[in-house]
Amino acid sequence: MVTKKKTVKVRDSDVTQRDLLDAVGRILSEQGFRGLKTNEIARHVGKDKNLIRYYFENLEGLEKAYIAEKDYWPPFFERFKIGGDSTLDEVKNMFTELMQENFRFFLANPEMQQIILWQISEANPLLTHISEQREIEGAKLLGLTDPYFKDSGVDFRMILALLLGGIYYVVLHARYNKSTVSGIDVNRPKDRDSLIKTIEQVLEWAWQAAENKKTK
């Protein structure tokens, strides 16, 4: 039987870990990734900085736990996983929904915005590893498109890279600069809806171009 004293200790441990993780989020929002220092995190929590080492081994361990909690890509890869026997329409729809959901989640997730900004602004072994793991999982999905785009002259991977980079760019511009990109401001509902529709159009054009090329 769990004693009351032990239950309280476990609860205190959970609360402290939650406080440390939340402090990382607050610092990212207020100061950016350069504010992630052990002393600064401890100051936000109001507790001994050695608790970071006690619960997470070191600052990198705390950062890793925070990113794992906020990174929506691993759940995306699980959610959008389909088999190698999927039909053309299933593959097309999966990529369209994946990219549209990426835009929606990234726009609504300030913490993930800071993580991506951090990732592209600093050489960091932890972030590099996370990015590489994301690429490995993404490559499994991209492999489903290879039979459709082979010898078509259409580089589907390049199209996705441009869409992904464009999504990150317009969202970060809108959030941090409060400015437009080609007149587009995704803070406006009309522009958000248009961007979601355009993702579908661009991917449909890619599939059509590949099909037309291969049937000639």
Looking at the structure, do residues 204 and 100 belong to the same domain, yes or no? yes
**Per-residue pLDDT at 108:** 94
Here the CATH number for the domain that contains residue 144 is 1.10.357
**Per-residue pLDDT at 8:** 46
**Per-residue pLDDT at 85:** 83
Domain that holds residue 206: 71-215
Residue 25 · residue 66 · CB < 8 Å: yes
| 103-131 confidence digits (pLDDT tens) | 999 999 988 898 898 888 888 888 898 89
Looking at the structure, do residues 202 and 138 belong to the same domain, yes or no? yes
Looking at the structure, do residues 161 and 77 belong to the same domain, yes or no? yes
Residues of the chain with pLDDT under 50: 1-2, 5, 8
Q: What is the pTM of this model?
A: 0.84
Q: What's the 3-state SS for 160-175?
A: HHHHHHHHHHHHHHHH
